[in-house]
Structures are given as structure tokens and as C-alpha cells.
Amino acid sequence: MSTPNTLLRLVGMTLLTLATAACNSAPKMEAKDSATLLKDIRAEIGDAACDAPQQCRSIAVGHKSCGGPEAYLAWSSKRSDEARLQGLIEQHAAARRAENLRSGMVSDCRLVTDPGASCQAGRCSLLPGGGAGAASAQ
């Protein structure tokens, strides 16, 4: 076997190994902060348009430092992808939990109850008298 051929084979195998390793490494996804995730949630909910009350639902958002949601948002099954919305909600709660731990934030520990949602004037909205509105969600 000649030395140039051996060298070329060695270089070729090394490049192939490096290329394979580069293709197998998963790209790192940057974690979004809670404010960005809340914007994504609101974008997924959109205008929460509805034709019937059965399309309207409420969903818990955020995470209080002592547990439980910070607020509820109304959304429509007519316009929103439930699986995508639930994924964003879970990411947002995890981000809020981490932010609370890092900052040492404490909350009032009041229970925020689910107010439910209704279709009013073609748009899903939270029912009055229950829980807290979306304004308090971080």
C-alpha cells in the first residue's frame, strides 16, 4: 500500500466521521422568557372568535410562587390549536416558576379560580365574578 493512498483514506474517514457527528448533534433551542411566551400565547389565542358557547374555553396561565395559576385567559376552539396552546401554556408556567425561584419572588397565595368562558358578541370572554383576568398574568 502506498503512503499517499493511506493518507487520503485517513483524511477521508476523518472528514466522514466529523460530518456524521455534526449531523447527529441536536441544535440547542434557546429558552424563551415568560413575557415572550405570553405574547406567543396571546398570538395563538388571537381574537378568540366564536359562533357558539361550546367553542369558548378558559385556560390557566402563569405560576404563582406558592403554586397555582396567576390568571386565566379565554380562548376559542374555533381559532386556536389546543395542543399548541397547551404546549405554550406549559412552557410559560415553567418559565414563571424558574423566574420566581431566581428572584425569590413571593405571591399572595390567593387561589385564582377558573371563571369559565362564554361566547359574547362573537368573541370568547371570561365570565364575570370568578378568578382573575388576564391582566395579572406576567
**111 touches 68 (CB < 8 A):** yes
Q: How confident is the model at residue 26 (pLDDT cuts 50, 70, 90)?
A: very low
Q: How confident is the model at residue 109 (pLDDT cuts 50, 70, 90)?
A: confident
**Domains of the chain by residue range:** 34-128
Q: Would you state the pLDDT for residue 108?
A: 83
Q: Would you state the pLDDT for residue 25?
A: 45
Distance of CA 84 to the CA centre of its chain: 8
- Burial degree of 88 (CB within 10 A; 0-12, 13-18, 19+): buried
Question: pLDDT at residue 62 above 60?
Answer: yes
Task: Provide the sign of the torsion angle of the four alpha carbons 35, 28, 94, 115, taken in this order.
Answer: positive
Q: Would you state the pLDDT for residue 49?
A: 98
Helix axes 82-103, 34-45, angle to 10 degrees: 160
Question: pLDDT at residue 46 above 70?
Answer: yes
- Pairing between β-strand 56-61 and β-strand 123-126 as defined by DSSP bridges: unpaired
Average pLDDT over residues 111-137: 81
Q: Is the pTM of this model over 0.85?
A: no
Q: Which residue has the higher pLDDT, 12 or 69?
A: 69
